[in-house]
Structure 1
Amino acid sequence: MSFTLSGRGVVLGVASLVLKEGATIEGALEVVRAAVDAGVVAIDTARAYATVDDDAAGERIAQVARERSPSLPIITKAGHFRLGRAAWDSDGSAERVRADALRSREVLGAPPSLLLLHRADRVEDLEASVRELAALREEGVVEAIGLSNASIEQLDRARSITTLDAVENRFALGIDRATEYRYCVDAGIPFLAYAPFGGPRADPLATHVPRVAAIARNLGVSVHRSALAAMLDAMPGAWPVIGSTRVESVLDSIAAAELAVDDELRRAFADDLRSRDVGLGA
């Protein structure tokens, strides 16, 4: 079964809802429920989004979203896991990928809509991992498969073995190049772009897209909403994965799908990326 997302919009990643200092299950569920009600297109979680006491904390949060909207796609990831309070490790072996997939299905109560190999960049035997992903899809343990944090070379190797249903890589606006996105567009593979605002340690978004920020001020909306709207307009086949932890921020980002994008905003977005040598062109 292939992986599809309905229309233009954003995906909510739950990593920070679990891992951020001071995060609570009550706060996480408030954010997730608000996001589902506002029309988020999918929930993104992982086996690695765990607490010291609960190896499936992130997937339990995703399951609440699925209960609220049974058709909502749930994305999860295998092969990367929490060891302790501040330690994680990776194991992309076939055995670990299968064990993670089975655990995800158990927690979610149904096959994950999409299972990604979480750290394709840290796998010793990528071919073995991908063959196991393909077997899990064939058996119906998961509905679709793909890679996360993968290079072009790794994507080529994986696709020589089986069809990839999606790819999830970091794409921070004004920071990261669009190399993997362009590859996925050419191959017809949905591209999930995580950390579009740069992540918790990044400089403010307005410093990366100043022209878009100026237009946002004139419109009376946030630079985050304007930048996401421009991204969705300029990058067909890509879905930004946001990691906001406040209801207000999540709703603001989801509203980007409804913000009209005119030629002025298109030019500003393109100029901002080009000026930082990270444009969308080849």
Structure 2
Amino acid sequence: MPFAFAGRPVARIGYGAMQLSRLRDDRAAGIALLRRAVELGVNHVDTAQFYGFGLVNELLREALRPEDGVLIVSKVGAAPNPGGQFPLRFAQRPEELRAAVEENLTTLGLEQIPVVNLRRADSGPVGLQLPDDQVVDADDQLAEMIALRDEGKIGAIGLSSVSLEVLRRALPVGIDCVQNAYSLVDRRDEQMLELCLAENIAWVPYFPLGSAAPHLPKVTDAPAVIAAAESSGFTPAQVGLAWLLHRAPNVLLIPGTATLAHLEANMAAGDVPADVMDALSAMI
């Protein structure tokens, strides 16, 4: 069943476009991948201006058509950092949030971005440190996001890498989605998911199959997931994604890939039957 997100029904498996940056030297393949995603029913795409330093947004602009009815969700709070230790730097100040929205509008070729996530640094991947001059109170950031919404530059506000305390403070603003790390093997934000469910806010987990870091757990290595996959004929990745879909009706997935085969496999996660999830739940 679709979920009502930002005022429209969206399929519960969408597409995270970050990995399109791997196709910098084969733009035609990126376009083909996006067109295939639409054919498979994707109508929710997650992006950011800093993905591929603008390349990903350019590919979306070229590949997607108004009649496709795709809900585009972008994010602000970081910016490219070419030549730095990390390819990204934080850009948390209100004027930087506004500048990022303007850049997204230009590269996406839109008059309004349907949803923009404020990517904070309350939680998330370890390694990128928040400089002192980037420590900004959430209320100041939210005031800028509200202004951008009032001006019609963005349609709805989301939050990413956010704490439970900040989410609670932000609820009166009107929050449409939350993107935090969450998977079968990383359920630290269980209480936040439950709050989003109670408030009818979309929960859009990143790292849905666990961390890509070698020292952190992966869903596909969990014995229960492997056993469920072997008994059902699906892959461990498909079972891990399906577990998220079955976890709560407000969960929306945005698995990313740069290959057609993985795209089609991710979309097939919605075909994993409920009895496989029941068996998995009994094992974990």
Q: Which residue, out of 14, 27, 32, partners 2:17? A: 14
Cross-structure match for 1:3:
6
Q: Which amino acid aligns with 2:89?
A: D
Cross-structure match for 1:230:
243
- Secondary structure at 2:81 match in 1: strand
Instruction: Indicate if the aligned counterparts of 2:34 and 2:64 stay in contact, CA closer than 8 A.
Output: no
Say if 1:21 and 1:36 are closer, same or farther in 2 by CA, change over 3 A.
closer
**Could you tell me how far apart the structure 2 residues matched to 1:27 and 1:199 are?**
27
Instruction: Indicate if the aligned counterparts of 2:212 and 2:218 stay in contact, CA closer than 8 A.
Output: no
State the Cα deviation string for residues 185-237 of structure 1 (Å, max 9, x = none). Answer: 122211111110124335553323x2232222222221222222232122210
**Could you tell me how far apart the structure 2 residues matched to 1:21 and 1:28 are?**
6
Identity, % of aligned pairs?
25
Instruction: Indicate if the aligned counterparts of 2:38 and 2:68 stay in contact, CA closer than 8 A.
Output: no
**Could you tell me how far apart the structure 2 residues matched to 1:79 and 1:94 are?**
9
Instruction: Indicate if the aligned counterparts of 2:228 and 2:279 stay in contact, CA closer than 8 A.
Output: no
Where in structure 1 are there 5+ consecutive unaligned residues?
273-282
Instruction: Indicate if the aligned counterparts of 1:169 and 1:194 stay in contact, CA closer than 8 A.
Output: yes
Q: Which amino acid aligns with 1:66?
A: L
Q: Which residue, out of 227, 234, 237, partners 1:221? A: 234
TM-score normalized with structure 2 length: 0.83
Say if 1:141 and 1:270 are closer, same or farther in 2 by CA, change over 3 A.
farther
**Could you tell me how far apart the structure 1 residues matched to 2:139 and 2:108 are?**
27
Cross-structure match for 2:31:
29
Question: What displacement does 1:265 show?
Answer: 2.3
Instruction: Indicate if the aligned counterparts of 1:59 and 1:76 stay in contact, CA closer than 8 A.
Output: no
* Pair 1:173-2:175 in alignment: no
State the Cα deviation string for residues 140-159 of structure 1 (Å, max 9, x = none). Answer: 11111111100101112222
Instruction: Indicate if the aligned counterparts of 2:184 and 2:210 stay in contact, CA closer than 8 A.
Output: yes
Instruction: Indicate if the aligned counterparts of 2:161 and 2:180 stay in contact, CA closer than 8 A.
Output: yes
Q: Which amino acid aligns with 1:80?
A: A
Q: Which amino acid aligns with 1:39?
A: G
Say if 1:180 and 1:66 are closer, same or farther in 2 by CA, change over 3 A.
farther
- Secondary structure at 1:256 match in 2: helix
Where in structure 2 are there 5+ consecutive unaligned residues?
123-129
Cross-structure match for 1:115:
116
* Pair 1:143-2:155 in alignment: yes
- Secondary structure at 1:165 match in 2: strand
State the Cα deviation string for residues 33-74 of structure 1 (Å, max 9, x = none). Answer: 2222111231111122133xxxx2121223234327531000
- Secondary structure at 1:154 match in 2: helix
- Secondary structure at 2:231 match in 1: helix
**Could you tell me how far apart the structure 2 residues matched to 1:106 and 1:137 are?**
17
**Could you tell me how far apart the structure 2 residues matched to 1:270 and 1:184 are?**
25
Cross-structure match for 1:57:
55
Say if 1:270 and 1:113 are closer, same or farther in 2 by CA, change over 3 A.
farther
**Could you tell me how far apart the structure 2 residues matched to 1:253 and 1:166 are?**
21
Cross-structure match for 2:136:
124
State the Cα deviation string for residues 78-122 of structure 1 (Å, max 9, x = none). Answer: 120111044311122221111111221222222111101123535
What number of residue pairs does the alignment pair up?
A: 264
Say if 1:48 and 1:196 are closer, same or farther in 2 by CA, change over 3 A.
same
Say if 1:79 and 1:40 are closer, same or farther in 2 by CA, change over 3 A.
same
Cross-structure match for 1:183:
195
Instruction: Indicate if the aligned counterparts of 1:49 and 1:58 stay in contact, CA closer than 8 A.
Output: yes
Q: Is 249-258 or 218-227 further displaced after alignment?
A: 218-227
